[in-house]
Amino acid sequence: MQNVSCDFSPFVHFGEVRAKLIPSVVQAYANADYTIIVHFDDGKVVRYDVSPLLKKGSVFEALLDKDYFVKNITSLHGTVAWSETLRDDDCIDLDPIVIYEQGEDITHLAP
């Protein structure tokens, strides 16, 4: 029987060249106006407006509490998340690709 191994990394291998498919969040900050500043591992920095997602009865309802929104933001598993415990079963997270592609690129403003 032949051993088969699977590589579940976010990279695609082309011989010696590795192309990354999914940008990874390395740092995130929340602002009181419900925008977030997100730093990605490729150096891109974006501003993303979370407010359109914040509706009563939605999975994002807890983020309507401005204090929670600002104080509990973190980078977890390569994306932006809000959590008090940093447990997978106790977090609200966003798709990093959506943030990367739809956020306002402010890389030129970042220090």
Going residue by residue through the chain (111 aa), what tens digit of pLDDT does each one get? 443 333 444 444 444 444 557 889 999 999 999 999 999 999 999 999 999 999 999 999 999 999 999 999 999 889 999 987 766 677 899 999 999 999 999 999 977
User: From start to end of 3-108, where are the E strands?
Assistant: 11-14, 17-20, 25-30, 35-40, 45-49, 73-76, 79-82, 92-93, 104-105
Question: What is the reported pLDDT for 88?
Answer: 66
Question: What is the reported pLDDT for 5?
Answer: 37
Note whether 48 and 107 are within 8 A (CB).
no
Q: Tell me the pTM.
A: 0.78
